[in-house]
Amino acid sequence: MVNTAVTLSGLTLDNPVIPASGTFGFGYEFADWYDINVLGSISCKGTTKEPRFGNPTPRIAECSEGLINSVGLQNPGVDKVISDELPKLAKVYSKPIIANVSGFSIDEYAYTCARMDEQPQVGILEVNVSCPNVHNGGMSFGTSPESAAAVTKAVKAVTKKPVYIKLSPNVTDIVSIAKACEDAGADGISLINTLLGMRIDLKTRKPVIANKMGGFSGPAIFPVAVRMVYQVYEAVKIPIIGMGGVSSARDVIEMMLAGATAVQVGAANLIDPCACRKMINDLPEVMEQLGIENLTDIIGGSHNG
């Protein structure tokens, strides 16, 4: 009998598979498809202090082996998330969740994280300093060690629960940023968010999406994600949640070998709403095929020897 359980900052997950923020709504929307309690956890839709309509449409473009999105953190704001969305999720999901938070100033990050930290459902705060789809916020805080550390310190000062900083791959040196977050008190790192990409319509000769550029996700970015998780694992001592193009149980294993303790699944949910359930169901068989008894034994396994 194989053991799929993993532990993130004292929080035990039945398995390491977590739907990534922005690809799974607030979670309850998927309860019509299957019992979402099979999930290790859920990283809920990114939440900001104030409501956001998001970017103008069109804001989705298909690509080979992936897609580009520029949704722009559409959400009802932290007050409505707490009063409306989280109670709906609590009716269908009984495990601790990951609250994904973004902001347009350090004060906004701190305020929203403090509010979410008070919610009993929240087990981990995931601070998004990596969204490429908004102006003057998100990724602008994650492109330098200093700014990422400043957000980390501000959030840690007003929260009690574990804080994971979600990093952008759209940087020259992701390792130095991860290390700065660890030094500033981060309890964990989430990586990677989407790569910056665009498509051009051959007939109109203009960008396909209204924002011109957006976040590129899907299977094509998986090797980049594995590489960055591998590099960050060698530099920090805190847990890593790996993500970026994860599409199968074998991808989960590979990401964990690179150094991830848990794995988030993003674009695959937009292709198949049951993608996470399938990976969870496939995990034990894949583990048996590879001679793995406990998933925790393989975390960072590719660094040995």
Domain 6-303: CATH superfamily is Aldolase class I (3.20.20.70)
Would you write out the chain's pLDDT as a tens digit for each of its 305 residues? 899 999 999 999 999 999 999 999 999 999 999 999 999 999 999 999 999 988 888 988 888 889 998 888 899 999 999 999 999 999 999 999 999 999 988 999 999 999 999 999 999 999 999 755 444 444 567 778 999 999 999 999 999 999 999 999 989 899 999 999 999 999 999 999 999 999 999 999 999 999 999 999 999 999 999 999 999 999 999 999 999 999 999 999 999 999 999 999 999 999 999 999 999 999 999 999 999 999 999 999 999 85
Query: What are the residue boundaries of the structural domains of the chain, listed by start?
Result: 6-303
- Region of residue 218 (phi > 0: left; psi between -120 and 50: alpha; otherwise: beta): left
Helical packing angle, 145-156 and 174-183, nearest 10°: 30
CA 292 to chain centre: 25
Which segments of 22-174 are extended strands (E)? 60-63, 66-69, 97-101, 122-128, 163-166
The first and second tokens of residue 64, run together, are: 């080979």
Is the Cα dihedral 270, 20, 44, 89 positive or negative? positive
Q: What predicted TM-score, i.e. pTM, was given to this entire model?
A: 0.95
| Residues designated catalytic | 131
Tokens of 31: 């309860």
Under DSSP, is residue 164 helix (H, G, I), strand (E, B) or coil? strand
Of 133, 288, 124, 140, the closest CA to residue 217 belongs to 133
